[in-house]
C-alpha cells in the first residue's frame, strides 16, 4: 500500500517486494511475518511490513527506507528525558520518580553487566564511546566507574546538552559517520544501546565499531530479539514491531551473533538485558498509550493515566523477564558482546 507522507520520497514505499538479502546472514529466502503494522506513536502514517529470513529467523522491514529519510521518522520527544523544566510540576515529579525507580537502576545494571563481562584492563584510564547515546544517562554510569566517556547522537540538541550540561564530549552524527567523528583504534569499549535495529546496514555497523576499537577492545550492542518468548507472546502488537518504520530490522539471537562473528569479533556472547529494560518493553506492548512521547511530548492527564497503567503492567513484565532468564530462553532484549582480537 502506498504511503502519503509529505517528507518521504514516494519511491521508498509502496512496494510489496521481498527483502533482497538478510542483513544478518545474507540469506535470500523470506516468508511474510507481519503486514499492516502501524507506527505505535502515530508519527509516520501508513502501514508497514516485516518479512522473516528463513535462514536465521531475523525480521526485516520492507521496503527498507534510505538513510536520508530516517530522521523524519522521529518525533521531537522520542525518548525519556530529565529536561522537563517547561512541563508541569506533576510531570517534573513523575520524571524524577521514573528516573530513580526505573531508568537509573536499569542503566546502573547495564553498565555493571558490561564491565563485569569484559573485566578490567590493567593500565591507564579506559575510554568508551556510546553510539546513539541519547541524553547520556548511561554514560553517566560508566563515568562514575572511572571511564573516560564519549558519545555521538543524531540529534544536535542532545549533543549540546551532553557537552554543556553533563560535560561529556559528544559529537553530532549518524551511525555511518562515527569513524569520521572519532579517531580510529582509540576506544577500549564501544557500546550501542537499542540502535542496531534502527540502522540500514548492520554489518557496516559492526565494521565501524571495529574500526574505532583498540585491539583487545569490546563491542556491546543491545537489541530486541525476534525469537524471544515476549515477541511470540505479543506478535504483531510487540512494541519492537509497532516501532516500524523506525525499526528497520529485529534480529534473532543467532542472526546477530553470526553478524558479529562475521565482522571478525571473537568470544561472541548474548546476555539478558536488565530485567527492568525487558519489563519496560512488555509494559509498552501491553499499554501502548503509556509511552514517554505521549506523556512528555503532549499535555493532558490521559497520557499520565496510561503511564501509570503501564507501570502496573511492568510488574507482570518483570516476572516474565526473570522466568526467561531462569529458563535460559532467548531474551526479549539481548546484549551482544564481542571482542576485537589483539
Q: Which residues bind Zn ion (CB under 5 A)?
A: 22, 24-25, 27, 53, 55-56, 58
Give whichever of 56 and 149 is closer to Zn ion, judged by the CB atom: 56
Residue 175 contacts residue 205 (beta carbons within 8 Å): yes
Give whichever of 58 and 113 is closer to Zn ion, judged by the CB atom: 58
CA 241, distance to chain mean position in Å, is 13
CB of 255 vs Zn ion, minimal distance in Å? 5
Give whichever of 24 and 107 is closer to Zn ion, judged by the CB atom: 24
The angle at the Cα of 24, spanning 211 to 332, to the nearest 5 degrees, equals: 100
CB of 89 vs Zn ion, minimal distance in Å? 49
CA atoms within 13 A on the CB side of 61: 27
CB of 116 vs Zn ion, minimal distance in Å? 30
Give whichever of 121 and 207 is closer to Zn ion, judged by the CB atom: 207
CB of 178 vs Zn ion, minimal distance in Å? 25
CB of 27 vs Zn ion, minimal distance in Å? 4
Helical residues (DSSP H) of the chain, grouped into ranges? 89-98, 104-118, 137-144, 156-161, 178-181, 202-212, 229-234, 253-262, 275-286, 292-297, 302-327
Pick the closest to residue 3 from 17, 18, 15, 14 (CA basis).
Answer: 14
First to last CA, the chain: 50
Cell of 257: 551473533
Give whichever of 24 and 102 is closer to Zn ion, judged by the CB atom: 24
Amino acid at each position: 500500500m502506498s504511503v502519503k507522507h509529505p517528507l518521504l520520497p514516494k519511491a521508498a514505499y509502496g512496494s510489496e517486494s521481498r527483502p533482497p538479502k538478510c542483513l544478518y546472514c545474507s540469506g535470500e529466502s523470506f516468508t511474510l511475518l507481519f503486514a499492516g503494522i502501524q507506527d505505535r506513536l502515530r508519527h509516520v502514517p501508513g502501514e508497514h511490513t516485516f518479512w522473516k529470513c528463513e535462514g536465521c529467523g531475523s525480521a526485516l522491514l520492507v521496503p527498507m527506507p534510505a538513510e536520508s529519510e530516517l530522521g523524519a521518522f522521529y518525533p521531537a520527544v522520542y525518548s525519556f528525558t530529565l529536561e522537563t523544566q517547561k512541563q508541569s510540576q506533576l510531570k517534573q515529579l513523575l520524571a524524577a520518580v521514573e528516573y530513580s525507580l526505573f531508568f537509573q537502576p536499569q542503566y546502573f545494571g547495564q553498565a555493571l553487566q558490561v564491565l563485569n563481562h569484559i573485566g578490567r584492563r590493567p593500565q591507564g584510564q579506559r575510554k568508551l564511546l556510546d553510539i546513539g547515546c541519547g541524553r547520556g544517562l548511561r554514560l553517566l554510569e560508566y563515568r562514575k566507574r572511572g571511564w573516560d566517556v564519549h558519545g555521538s547522537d543524531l540529534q544536535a540538541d542532545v549533543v549540546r546538552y551532553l557537552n554543556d550540561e553533563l560535560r561529556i564530549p559528544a559529537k553530532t552524527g549518524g551511525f555511518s559517520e562515527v569513524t569520521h567523528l572519532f579517531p580510529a583504534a582509540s576506544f577500549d569499549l564501544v557500546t550501542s544501546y537499542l540502535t542496531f535495529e534502527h540502522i540500514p546496514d548492520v554489518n557496516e555497523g559492526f565494521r565501524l565499531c571495529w574500526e574505532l576499537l583498540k585491539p583487545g577492545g569490546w563491542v556491546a550492542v543491545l537489541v530486541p530479539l525476534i525469537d524471544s518468548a515476549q515477541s511470540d507472546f505479543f506478535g504483531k502488537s510487540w512494541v519492537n514491531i509497532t516501532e516500524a518504520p523506525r525499526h528497520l530490522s529485529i534480529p534473532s539471537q543467532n542472526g546477530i551473533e553470526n553478524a558479529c562473528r562475521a565482522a571478525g569479533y571473537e568470544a561472541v556472547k548474548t546476555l539478558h538485558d536488565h530485567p527492568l529494560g525487558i519489563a519496560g518493553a512488555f509494559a509498552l506492548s501491553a499499554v501502548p498509550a503509556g509511552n514517554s512521547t505521549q506523556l512528555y511530548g503532549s499535555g493532558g492527564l490521559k497520557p499520565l493515566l496510561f503511564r501509570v497503567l503501564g507501570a502496573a503492567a511492568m510488574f507482570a513484565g518483570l516476572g516474565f523477564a526473570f522466568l526467561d532468564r531462569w529458563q535460559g530462553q532467548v531474551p526479549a532484549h539481548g546484549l551482544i558482546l564481542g571482542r576485537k582480537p589483539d
